[in-house]
Structure 1
Amino acid sequence: MTHTTPLDWRPFLLGWSGEWSDSLADGGTRREEDETARRARWLGFPSASEERIVAMEERLGRRMPPSYREFLEVSDGWRNAGGFIGLLAGTADARWHDNESAPADIFEERLDDDATDAERRGAGIWRRGLQLDVESDMTHVLLDPEDVDDDGEWAVYTWASWRAAPPERYANFADFMRDMHREFHCLRAGRTDGGPEFANDLTRELDTRVERARLEALRGDWERAGHVLDEAKGYGRPRAAALGDQMRRLLGRTYMVYFDGMAADPRYAPELLPVLAAEHVVRGHRDDSALLFHLRGAGREVVSLAFATLERVRNGTYRYTAAGPFGEAVERARELARWGDTDGAWRILTDALPAWQPSGPDHLAPLGWVADPLLGPLLTPERGCELLSTPRGGQAGEAPGRSADRDPGDLAWLADPDTPGIPTSYRFVLVEGVAPADLPGRLADGDGTVLNRPMTRDEARGFASRGPGAVPYVVDTALAAVGRAGPCWSFAFEDDVAYFDLRRFVSPAAAAAGEGTRAVVGWGGLRSGHGRPFFHLSVAQDGVEQYAFTYADGELHRTGRTPPALDPDRFFGEGEEVTAAERPLLEAVSGEFGVHLPRHAIMNGRLHTFTTRPWARPPGNGEPFGAVPADTVPPADTIATRDEFVAGRATP
């Protein structure tokens, strides 16, 4: 809570002193001066006269900053500032640090050429700072006469070696003292020494505001609620951190989000344990017992559930469930996300959110779904804001506007250089009238080919090289992700694919297009810097290729009668920049067939995969045998021929 301006020093210090005194039991002080302060209900000293302050300034050679000067006019020093500073200097004890014990040398040695201005100031504070700590638990407090704002305030720097952190900066002495007051509250709120209950006017006011913030958050006013909860958390108020952590996690902020013991409560554990387990896995913790650190006080059942949840999250089998209509929406959303319709899945979740019911009074929003392998990738910071802005849990409020869809609804994003992680090359098969689960029957060898579990792009790359069903490097197959490409279309997609060889290329379009269906095959790599530009398009119907064209090595090859909208002469005109053809080509394919590829699902989500049959015929005698990545085309004399490979004189 923001207490005051510097003009309110006296009530601020009197309030702090009273809270400190009331927090101690009779005989709870160790030093005589502390017992005197407890009885007097005053942690300070008599005020410093103007003459004493001026004398100090003459001794030090500088006029003191306003907030420290006004503090001295109320109390000439201060005891027990926070938890680790026993005595703060008044007019007699303030002195220049002058690099005593040479800490500046240590900090300056750590600086490198990339050090920030703040890091350099922090290292130099020991040579120029005014030391205010007189007695402390290895905690230093310095005023910086060279870090001055427009009001003449000096910044305050604190540092404790045992915290293993750089010096902490405060804008002025008043801000520093307010933070020490908050630190005192935090330590008293979490006390385990059996002292009297820590309750006073301030704690009661903060707890009342926390409860109001909880209701505001459920009504969708999460920003105002968040400010209140952050303030209360600074004072260590119970519930504030756990409530705020729920909102932070939905905004994509995972650092130091532990729900402050709430996950140990059996009411909330099924919802929060998956979130903690997922973060544990992401951070690669080797010691699984570390998960228990945030479950202190949990019963045996919760601990058992924690390890079972961790195992399911780690092996990809965790599935989020919820009760009632919202739980039914979760199942429908997962099925859409499974086949790439992440925008539709998100709409289903948010439409059902008003029907969601919390597991207990401190439950602000559904959270376990962020650990679900299919639903978790739906979350973005913008969507987190939308979810938190939606009234829920029986509270009424104004519904928010929808966050923007993540998918552009076409193929042209494949040519967008502004798309993060844009593929260097790609190939796809679009099949009409066939479900994604049936694509292996069209594009794979053998009747037993089935879809693998849903994977991210990175997981699929690792699976292709190490997992079950991995194919030899010399065979140009694709580990293709599958999903829906439109109301009646399915897709198989692979990015960063093998080297395109026009002589051996065999389009899978005809095999994919069974009776009464069409198939569209695209293979692109026109952007400069990713190997020689090329683009292929072929279209088949009823098992027969209707038309195709390929641009490769500066030449255009075509077969069949291409419809006007896809006429390659429109895109590869004489004198035009070849790479400029990619986007309009993909836009034309989208328009001609009413198809799209789901960008968010492909780039950020998890999709089923399967291994296709080769996209190239076997090499003939004397032809290169190896397949190489599209952006690394080696010299011809480094690629093994079929005869050399069979004879054992080369390795793939």
Structure 2
Amino acid sequence: MKTTAFDWQPFLRRWSGEWSDSALEDETWTAEEAAARRDRWLGFPPASEERIVAMEQRLGIRMPPSYREFLAVSDGWQHAGGFVTLLAGTAEARWHNDESGLADMFEEYLDEDSGPDERRDAEIWRRGLQLDVESDATYVLLDPEDVDEDGEWAVYTWAGWRAAPPERFANFGEFMRDMHREFHSLRSASAEGEPDFVNDTTRELDALVEQALLDALRGDWERAEKALDEAKEYGRPRAAGLGDQIRRLLGRTYMVYFEGLVTDPRYAPELLPALVAEQAANSYRDDSTLMFHLRGAAEEVVALAYSTLEQARNGTYRYVAEGPYGEAVERARELARWGDTDGAWRTLMDALPLWQPLGPDHLAPVGWVADPLLGPLLTPERGAELLSVPKGGQLGEASSPPVALDPGGLAWLADPEGHADRTPYRFVLVEGVEPADLPRRLADGDTDGEDTTLDLPMTSHDARHRRNSGKREFSSYDDKALVAVGRGGPGWSFAFDHDPAPFAPQRFVSPAAAASEGTRAVVVWSGLRTWRGEPFFHLSVAQDGIEEYAFTYADGETHRTGQIPQALDPDRFFASEGAPLGEGAEVERALLEAVHGEFGAHLPRHALTNGRLHTFTTRSWTRPPGDGETYAVISMAWGPAES
């Protein structure tokens, strides 16, 4: 399909006038530059059709439409962006023929796995038409073999000091528009004492930023993001800082620095946590680099940044907000603390229309992403939901549907994406008690240095690292589970072990009876998809300290005690000869659905896989060794190395 020709004349005239008006009096000018400033024209006289045809005959090929149309308005160009001083017209354009020797350099990086893009980066130096005449080590090439349906050639630019592969533009018109943006971006960053860079383009873009801010508050974040990205490319102040708030809530953490806003004391309490959270998550980063993004900040802002960084690293940062939204934040944190991440998210969303910005450049709450309990609630889909809700006093309707991450029930544990494929797990469900009461029921108290208090909320990985970092002795009979705790639906609490020890049915002691004092408790230990030996599954149910029924499938046999309800009868899941009635995952799913149907409890997938929960260590799930039984104890000690 034929594209509409670009109107070069007004575009180039505007660019020239902006360049002339932004020139400083004390700059040194060549005669050509002085004339360009005086005439407000960076170009040259137009090339006639005869002159363009003569160039094409010299080069042996017809020029692409957008470059031809440009030449008919200006036969060359001065100051294309910030690094090309003179761009070729009809007389200067020539085949590069690898004059730079860069083809060999790029070919050194090619191997059998190199794709078309990498091979093109090497080949364009031999076939490209060179347009840069004078530049700061910057090459501009038209590629006669990268042609679209309209006959346009792609433009490639490369500068060694940029440490990046060649940049591609769809055609010459796109390249020149980008050079105009580059000119604006460089001139917008005016040094102190220089006159402000103001013209029709900047005024239009600044109005676009204001409208984008209003659109974002109304929930039209996609339109706002597009407008802010355009203004950012032109270097407009505020555009990057506003756009970064959208990008961070969508989970795009790369190159998000809240430029121009994070050092403002009004916004620092909200934006600094989101900035330093990335620093804290990547321990290899040099903290001194944080100062680069805080250049120009007052001492109190710098001090706040480093104190927030320390809190983010040790898991003690706590997000606070003012007014009714702040009250909802506290309620949401308490819900997330015990695993109800969907409830926590709904609490935040329901209160979001009541949120008020800290200033005119604040378009959404952001600091909560650094909170160890609230941060894990974020997904890109939820970020889009938050951004689509009208807020800050604006009216409208949310454009993104509510996002729930917990499927409910227990069957998700049988899915590889729910719980790691082929990895056993175990859990205890206790009815009618709070999660904080579980250590009293399942732990040893002060025996062996353990107590009946909960650790601070943390990920399962961090909890295991914390427990094992100081451990010096390991016993083959010691099976003290490290469990995460929370609420498992109406009336139930859970204790969940992500990575249990190997299942030993002859020594296993179910914690159901001890946990059921004055109530009811359920224990499940599943390894139907395990890679650790033969598949197994255990279920036990106790009430008031007495085990009512249980069954264990292991080593191809099923052992049962008590009167098991029909819905949980192992004969429904395992054949009489011992084999599961179906694939491991299918049988596991059916068992978990039956347990959920019998007791109504569930486990929160998102909290267990992505969140932070309280943890504690239970008493051993195995009995002490009997007479004549042997076991191994491994002790480790560290001391100074011997010379």
Residue matched to 2:371: 372
Residue matched to 1:637: none
Q: Distance in 1 between matches of 2:18 and 2:188?
A: 12
Q: Verify: 1:454 aligned to 2:457, yes or no.
A: yes
User: Which of 507, 520, 523 lines up with 2:522 in the alignment?
Assistant: 520
Residue matched to 2:429: 430
> How is 1:226-245 mapped onto 2 (pairs within 5 angstroms)?
226-245=225-244
The answer to whether the 8 A contact 1:353-1:390 is kept is: yes
> How is 1:35-74 mapped onto 2 (pairs within 5 angstroms)?
35-74=34-73
Q: Verify: 1:111 aligned to 2:117, yes or no.
A: no
Q: Distance in 2 between matches of 1:613 and 1:399?
A: 49
Residue matched to 2:639: none
The answer to whether the 8 A contact 2:421-2:529 is kept is: no
User: Which of 577, 582, 585 lines up with 2:582 in the alignment?
Assistant: 577
Residue matched to 2:139: 140
Report the more deviating stretch, 80-89 or 402-411: 402-411
* Residues 285/189 of structure 1: CA separation in 2 closer, same or farther (3 Å cut): farther
The answer to whether the 8 A contact 2:356-2:391 is kept is: yes
The offset of 1:123, in angstroms, is: 1.9
Q: Verify: 1:484 aligned to 2:487, yes or no.
A: yes
The offset of 1:571, in angstroms, is: 1.1
> How is 1:398-413 mapped onto 2 (pairs within 5 angstroms)?
398-400=397-399, 402-413=401-412
The offset of 1:180, in angstroms, is: 0.3
The answer to whether the 8 A contact 1:464-1:470 is kept is: no
The offset of 1:477, in angstroms, is: 1.3
Query: Does the residue aligned with 1:7 lie in a helix, a strand or coil?
Result: coil
The offset of 1:404, in angstroms, is: 2.8
Report the more deviating stretch, 437-446 or 108-117: 108-117
1:403 is aligned with what amino acid? P
The offset of 1:623, in angstroms, is: 4.6
The answer to whether the 8 A contact 1:423-1:496 is kept is: no
1:179 is aligned with what amino acid? D
Residue matched to 1:510: 513
Q: Distance in 2 between matches of 1:305 and 1:345?
A: 27
1:568-617 deviation line (CA, Å, top 9, x unaligned):
11111356225131001000101110100000000000001101111111
Residue matched to 1:124: 123
* Residues 6/29 of structure 1: CA separation in 2 closer, same or farther (3 Å cut): farther
The answer to whether the 8 A contact 1:67-1:173 is kept is: yes
The answer to whether the 8 A contact 2:385-2:403 is kept is: no
The answer to whether the 8 A contact 2:542-2:549 is kept is: yes
Residue matched to 1:152: 151
Residue matched to 1:554: 556
1:207-251 deviation line (CA, Å, top 9, x unaligned):
111111111110111111111111111111111111111011001
Q: Distance in 1 between matches of 2:582 and 2:21?
A: 79
2:593 is aligned with what amino acid? E
The offset of 1:26, in angstroms, is: 3.5
Query: Does the residue aligned with 2:364 lie in a helix, a strand or coil?
Result: coil
Q: Distance in 1 between matches of 2:47 and 2:621?
A: 87
Q: Verify: 1:603 aligned to 2:602, yes or no.
A: no
Query: Does the residue aligned with 1:87 lie in a helix, a strand or coil?
Result: strand
Q: Distance in 2 between matches of 1:472 and 1:58?
A: 83
Residue matched to 1:619: 625
The offset of 1:195, in angstroms, is: 3.5
The offset of 1:125, in angstroms, is: 1.1
Q: Distance in 2 between matches of 1:319 and 1:335?
A: 12
Gaps of 5+ in 1: 626-639, 647-652
Report the more deviating stretch, 109-118 or 208-217: 109-118
Residue matched to 1:162: 161
Query: Does the residue aligned with 1:260 lie in a helix, a strand or coil?
Result: coil
Q: Distance in 1 between matches of 2:284 and 2:29?
A: 42
Query: Does the residue aligned with 1:261 lie in a helix, a strand or coil?
Result: coil
The answer to whether the 8 A contact 2:281-2:313 is kept is: no
Residue matched to 2:321: 322
User: Which of 493, 497, 500 lines up with 1:497 in the alignment?
Assistant: 500
Q: Distance in 1 between matches of 2:473 and 2:606?
A: 27
* Residues 549/511 of structure 1: CA separation in 2 closer, same or farther (3 Å cut): same
Q: Distance in 2 between matches of 1:366 and 1:173?
A: 41
Residue matched to 2:640: none
The answer to whether the 8 A contact 1:248-1:254 is kept is: yes
* Residues 570/147 of structure 1: CA separation in 2 closer, same or farther (3 Å cut): same
Q: Verify: 1:543 aligned to 2:548, yes or no.
A: no
1:583 is aligned with what amino acid? R
The answer to whether the 8 A contact 1:480-1:493 is kept is: yes
Residue matched to 1:632: none
User: Which of 452, 460, 465 lines up with 2:468 in the alignment?
Assistant: 465
Residue matched to 1:650: none
The answer to whether the 8 A contact 1:37-1:43 is kept is: yes
Query: Does the residue aligned with 1:613 lie in a helix, a strand or coil?
Result: strand
Q: Distance in 2 between matches of 1:124 and 1:610?
A: 61
Residue matched to 2:638: none
2:262 is aligned with what amino acid? A
Q: Distance in 2 between matches of 1:275 and 1:470?
A: 38
Q: Distance in 1 between matches of 2:192 and 2:374?
A: 44
* Residues 542/56 of structure 1: CA separation in 2 closer, same or farther (3 Å cut): same
Query: Does the residue aligned with 1:263 lie in a helix, a strand or coil?
Result: coil
The offset of 1:550, in angstroms, is: 0.7
Q: Distance in 2 between matches of 1:401 and 1:142?
A: 44
The answer to whether the 8 A contact 1:423-1:495 is kept is: no
Residue matched to 1:196: 195
Query: Does the residue aligned with 2:319 lie in a helix, a strand or coil?
Result: coil
Q: Distance in 2 between matches of 1:344 and 1:304?
A: 35
The answer to whether the 8 A contact 1:18-1:41 is kept is: yes
The answer to whether the 8 A contact 2:384-2:400 is kept is: no
The offset of 1:462, in angstroms, is: 1.4
* Residues 528/318 of structure 1: CA separation in 2 closer, same or farther (3 Å cut): closer
TM-score, normalised to structure 1's length? 0.93
1:292-333 deviation line (CA, Å, top 9, x unaligned):
211122111111111111111111110000011000000000
Query: Does the residue aligned with 1:536 lie in a helix, a strand or coil?
Result: strand
The offset of 1:6, in angstroms, is: 3.5
Residue matched to 2:11: 12
Query: Does the residue aligned with 1:20 lie in a helix, a strand or coil?
Result: helix
1:114 is aligned with what amino acid? D
Q: Verify: 1:349 aligned to 2:348, yes or no.
A: yes
2:207 is aligned with what amino acid? T
* Residues 223/624 of structure 1: CA separation in 2 closer, same or farther (3 Å cut): farther
* Residues 622/178 of structure 1: CA separation in 2 closer, same or farther (3 Å cut): farther
The offset of 1:97, in angstroms, is: 1.2
Count of residues paired in the alignment: 625
1:420-466 deviation line (CA, Å, top 9, x unaligned):
74571100000011111111101110153211111112212312321
The answer to whether the 8 A contact 1:426-1:495 is kept is: yes
The offset of 1:473, in angstroms, is: 5.4
The offset of 1:397, in angstroms, is: 1.1
User: Which of 586, 594, 598 lines up with 1:592 in the alignment?
Assistant: 598
The answer to whether the 8 A contact 1:505-1:616 is kept is: yes
Query: Does the residue aligned with 1:30 lie in a helix, a strand or coil?
Result: coil
1:330-363 deviation line (CA, Å, top 9, x unaligned):
0000000000000000000010111111110110
The offset of 1:92, in angstroms, is: 1.1
Q: Distance in 2 between matches of 1:283 and 1:559?
A: 51
The answer to whether the 8 A contact 2:413-2:419 is kept is: no
The offset of 1:193, in angstroms, is: 6.4
The answer to whether the 8 A contact 1:414-1:422 is kept is: no
What's the C-alpha RMSD, in Å, of the aligned pairs? 1.9
Report the more deviating stretch, 22-31 or 206-215: 22-31
2:443 is aligned with what amino acid? A
2:337 is aligned with what amino acid? R
> How is 1:73-88 mapped onto 2 (pairs within 5 angstroms)?
73-88=72-87
The offset of 1:25, in angstroms, is: 3.1
1:601 is aligned with what amino acid? A
